[in-house]
Structure 1
């Protein structure tokens, strides 16, 4: 088990989370039985949901998928969800708005948009963020594209440091 707090390790164990290729830990919790035909004629399940957790300095590296992704805050630290849009960076703060200034319980990333996420360390001793992600149409790893910093260079003017820092 990674060297994280007892609470983080307990959640990883209890929720049966596994390492995710983009960083952090996850487990799929739902895959719709209903199938739909997408605009590009792909047939998919209507939606999927996962638990997703970032611990310590973990981050979700820049990636994109072919479906909309809705993030839901569950527990721990807030999360900054960064996406590239219109030549810049849009950052949504995911968290408990009663405890985390400027946060919202949900954040949405449109299909096809490059995005990354990182835990916001508030210096309060909490070393994890547990969220849920719902993808519609359903997530498929074949629709997942992990970026490298060179591929993102120039897509968000003035943000090269962030683009490099959250790349694998």
Structure 2
């Protein structure tokens, strides 16, 4: 879903490395926040067992969040692998509305406090935000299998029942809706 740079996120960052990455990687604003570009879509197809039509076996994007941006609460009907490439560490939350199970992972360079990749299981709500250090951005790769399709993507409605539940149970994360 290409979106012109004048849409959603609007202006290029004033951080030189962020601006360079947006231009060099040809990133576009993403509806959930941040910047992205699909870099791979498998020509092989698979049939999901949940009734969806055939999907590419795998898709991959670059995904960049500036220090002031976040990935809004959303869910995808396929498993998604997040891989930290460079920049700030990133807080990634997953939430199962049915069980109220909230989990948090910090993606970043390998250390005792961070992991370089994490898998978000299909159907879980997810949101992310850079930790806000001096780099001013977090660059990630996200792979989805079966491959990503916008018809499998749902953003949390800011005044919907899930957003109200998040606000009650985890008020500090309500602003990510």
Residues 1:74 and 1:66: Cα distance change in structure 2 (over 3 Å): same
* Number of aligned positions between the proteins: 162
The reply to whether residue 95 of structure 1 matches residue 79 of structure 2 is no
The reply to whether residue 31 of structure 1 matches residue 44 of structure 2 is no
Query: Which one of the candidate residues 108, 126, 136 is aligned to 2:135?
Result: 126
Q: Cα distance, 1:128 vs. partner?
A: 0.6
Gap runs ≥5 in structure 2: 1-10
State the match for 2:29 in structure 1.
Answer: 19
Query: Which one of the candidate residues 108, 116, 119 is aligned to 2:127?
Result: 116
The reply to whether residue 71 of structure 1 matches residue 67 of structure 2 is no
Contact map agreement 1:18 1:25 (CA 8 A) in 2: yes
Structure 1: distance between partners of 2:26 and 2:142: 16
Query: Which one of the candidate residues 54, 58, 62 is aligned to 1:43?
Result: 54
* Structure 1 segments (4+ residues) deviating >6 Å: none
Residues 1:145 and 1:93: Cα distance change in structure 2 (over 3 Å): same
Q: Cα distance, 1:160 vs. partner?
A: 2.7
**Residue 112 of structure 1: SS of its match in structure 2?**
coil
Scaled by the length of structure 1, what TM-score is found? 0.90
The reply to whether residue 7 of structure 1 matches residue 17 of structure 2 is yes
Q: Cα distance, 1:4 vs. partner?
A: 2.9
Structure 2: distance between partners of 1:157 and 1:26: 31
Structure 2: distance between partners of 1:139 and 1:111: 11
Matches within 5 A, 1:133-152: 133-151=142-160, 152=162
The reply to whether residue 154 of structure 1 matches residue 151 of structure 2 is no
CA deviation digits over 1:110-131, x for unaligned, max 9?
1011110100113xx2101000
